[in-house]
Structure 1
Amino acid sequence: MADYIKTFQDELKTLDTKLAGNSAFEQFEAKTKLPKSYGVLGGASLYLLLIFINVGGIGEILANFAGFALPAYYSLIALKTTDKNDDTELLTYWVVFAFLSVVEFWSKAILYWIPFYWFMKTVVLLYLALPQTKGASYVYNMILMPLSDKYIKIHPSKTDEIGSKMENLAPKGKTTGFSTHGI
């Protein structure tokens, strides 16, 4: 247990270092005499508490925002890089997110009977979205890929054809952010 506490404290110190220079957190630290990382912990705790108690239906909005904001941020960064791995991870996340959204839409009447559904959804979406957990890849490889392999057959010649058509859509000499990455 002592190892977990030390690891947690080390992570807080790392977070304090990363937040150095951020004016909002510098003001928080100056006014409260607490480390900047405590402000992040407090904000995250309040966010999760609001989802947990779901006052006025705010849990649904906050849960969906948690599942959208962080991956959208990472996606915008990934569009500016040439690394294929981050693109693949994020595309996998968005496929899993869309799949879960469709399942949720068609089973909403049942899901509302589950206590603390929005809190659980937030935890699942964060598990799927965080690069450290690679949760979206796990769900894709265990559930969606076997389903798609069963019903969707793509021949290599078709993927080459699709890739070349997409590349021809962009005006010559301009970049669109779209890359086929060898599809």
Structure 2
Amino acid sequence: MNSTATETVSEENDWTVGKTVVCTCIVLFWVLIYLSMHKLRRNGGRNVWYHVGYFTAVALIIYLLPNDLALDAFNPITITLVCTLYPIYESIRAVCTVDTDDDTSMLQYWIAQGILSFASAWVNDVTNDHPLVRQYWFECLFFYYVWLLLPFTDGAALLYDCVTEPFIVPLIAPYAKKMSNALNAIVTAFINAFHLWFVWFAFFFLSPNLKSIIAICIGTVYPFMASIIAVSTPQGDDDTYWLTYWSCYGILYLIMGFFEHWLKRVPGFYIMYILATIYLMLPMFKGADAIFRSILVPLSGQTEMLMLRDASILRMELESKIPESRRAQVLDAVSKTFGADNSKMPSVRRRPNYGDKSDYGAIEEKEIIV
């Protein structure tokens, strides 16, 4: 009896130690990724020795790591935290910076990550009955996403330059604009044409799995095409637009994945998901920008950085509209305005306007400068 109890306690201690080691390794690995993302410059993935060193280290980790620890370390939760949530944070940070090169880099990551995630969604179901295959699949998936993300390997840029741009961009470029126009036309038709109610009615009778596939396709297929085209253009505005979309859609996708198990049979669940996706996607709504600025930026602590970006964009717009002969004078006046002492700036206060009344009978107030 004592021997059995001792063995049980020993197993519990081993399990606790194993979990502690796994959590510590994950935290250290995440810190390494964070430091490399912020301290190292991206090289476009052109240094072969970085790739050799990275994959050699990966092979050693997979070979030497015990199976029990590997099962705990590499799972959907770990992949979601390190390879989805953290890139969302980096995407938010990239959008909030003045430089658009980091927007392009993160957009390249989402293109490569999203295509594999969407194309291999069926693998998770296939590997459920094969634990060993499932373990190695998650390990490879994790290290592949990290390879895409790290600046010294810069796998996302390498894949885009060597595969996406020369082979995929020429194929999808003619269709991207057509799909954009078609989506706008479809949305407008659904808004203005009541007789299309039967399309929604038919959607309700589809199976939950088919609804999920349709909903995910709506949120990924065209945005992937548009993102690929955006990276191939010299302008940075389209990169920022689609990176903003992916930041918001990534959160929406995670929320749907979390609640889908319980709500997938609730009528209207996938309809709401599709409507939210369209709201984020289409420029006519600018939903992604609104959600990004009002929710994601404050949560990530990037408000001041976004304000600096907006100020920089405003400066560039002013410079483009002001004649060269008056540019220095106007910019000097603007600089003095922003740098002036607040106590000397005109203050704005409100005083009641007793002559006008609103519809509710309240006295309206007018702003006056004193």
Name the TM-score, length of structure 1 as normaliser: 0.52
* C-alpha distance in structure 1 between counterparts of 2:219 and 2:288, whole Å: 12
1:62 paired to 2:211: no
Name the residue aligned to 1:174.
none
Q: What corresponds to 1:77 in structure 2? A: 229
Q: Is 2:291 aligned against 1:139? A: yes
Task: Return the letter of the residue paired with 1:106.
Answer: F
1:120 aligns with 2:292: no
CA distance 1:50–1:83, shift in 2 (3 Å): farther
Say if 1:63 and 1:118, in contact at 8 Å, map to a contact too: yes
**CA distance in structure 2 between the partners assigned to 1:132 and 1:100 by the alignment:** 19
| 1:138-161 alpha-carbon deviations (Å, 9 max, x no partner) | 1111111111117xx9xxxxxxxx
Q: 1:56-113: CA deviations, max 9, x gaps?
A: 6311100110011121121121011111111111001111111112222223334335
Letter in 1 for 2:274: T
In structure 2, the CA distance between the partners of 1:47 and 1:92, relative to structure 1 (3 Å rule), is farther
Structure 2 CA distance for partners of 1:73 and 1:56, relative to 1, 3 Å: same
Match of 1:161 in 2: none
The 5-angstrom pairing of residues 104-115 of structure 1 reads 104-112=256-264, 114-115=266-267
Structure 1: gaps of 5 or more residues: 1-21, 23-36, 154-183
Contact 1:52 1:118 in 2 (8 A): no
Q: Counterpart amino acid of 1:68?
A: T
Q: Please state how far the C-alpha of 1:115 moved relative to its aligned partner.
A: 1.8
RMSD, aligned CA: 3.2
Matched residue SS, 1:82: coil
Query: Which amino acid is 1:111 matched to?
Result: L
1: CA distance between counterparts of 2:298 and 2:204?
Answer: 34
Query: What is the SS of the residue equivalent to 2:285?
Result: coil
Shift of 1:132: 2.0
TM-score normalised by length of structure 2: 0.27
Report what 2:74 is aligned to: none
How many residue pairs get aligned? The number is 113
Distance apart, 1:117 and its partner CA: 0.9
CA contact (8 A) 2:204 2:267 kept: no
CA distance in 1 between partners of 2:224 and 2:278 (Å)? 13
Alignment match of 1:53 (pick from 188, 191, 205):
205
**Would you say 1:87 and 2:243 are equivalent positions?**
no
CA contact (8 A) 2:256 2:273 kept: no
Measure how far apart 1:129 and its partner are. Answer: 0.8
Q: For 1:47 and 1:133, how far apart are their aligned partners in 2?
A: 22
